[in-house]
Copies of this chain bind each other. A is one copy, B any other.
Amino acid sequence: MATARERILTATAELLATKDALAISTRAICDRAGVGMPEIYRQFGDKQGLLTAVADTGFERFLANKRRNPLTDDPVADLRTAWDSHVAFALGNPHLYRLMFTPTGEAKPQAIKEAQALLLAAVRRCQDIGRLRRPPELAAQSILSANVGVCLMALSFPELFGSLDISQSVRDAVIGKVTGDEQEDARIGTATVLAQALVGTLTATAPADPDAVDRLARGQARQAR
């Protein structure tokens, strides 16, 4: 038999799979855990303390789940899969997720710092390959805020915000902006190459062939419409 503290934690987590955190009574927890009521207060001091402890163990599962994702050689893609696993966790454990990310009262789970540290490491990997357009801390905070927002809205208003299209849209928007979109980079790279080539062409031909620019002008006007 596990220790009393662990039994209380697992009992609360199990009840949390069904009911909301506020709809769970301490007596129901004690019945399921096979302990007396004072045990909760001996171990956690408070119902709030118990709930934050449960939230912290939830973060452990959450982080273990994320660490299980193998890292590829594309850190930006890793960022996207981390986002998706975050969303999957939220939709799979709605009450636990709300307990983790919208704590009531004063006591906040400490483990969110670890979550942010993990995300920060993933962001730094993007920085190492030169694909980061923000300070790493700001990038990690931005991604996590947007990610949590999508999840909480999907949980609170599933009929209006439950679509995964929203998650994908916001995901690509914020990650794309923070890391620099590949397509955008490609276009800019194309522009650079083209500009150099064109400038070279013009400097080589313009003195001898001023009509080239003129011909270019009317073609552009026609192409614009």
Contacts and interface: CB of A to CB of B under 8 A. Distances in A.
A8 to B, nearest CB: 22
Nearest to A220: B209
A183 to B, nearest CB: 9
A43 interface: no
B213 A200 contact: no
Contacts of A196: 219-220, 223
A152 to B, nearest CB: 6
Interface in A152-186: 152-154, 156-157, 160-161, 163, 165-166, 169-170, 172-174, 176-178, 184
A113 B191 CA distance: 42
A71 interface: no
A28 B13 CA distance: 33
Give the interface size bracket for A toward B.
35 or more
B204 A215 contact: yes
A197 B194 CA distance: 9
Interface stretch (A61-69, A77-85, A137-145): A137-145
A148 interface: yes
A18 to B, nearest CB: 14
A188 interface: yes
Contact of A187 (B141, B169, B187): B187
Interface in A86-127: 98, 101-105, 108, 112-113, 116
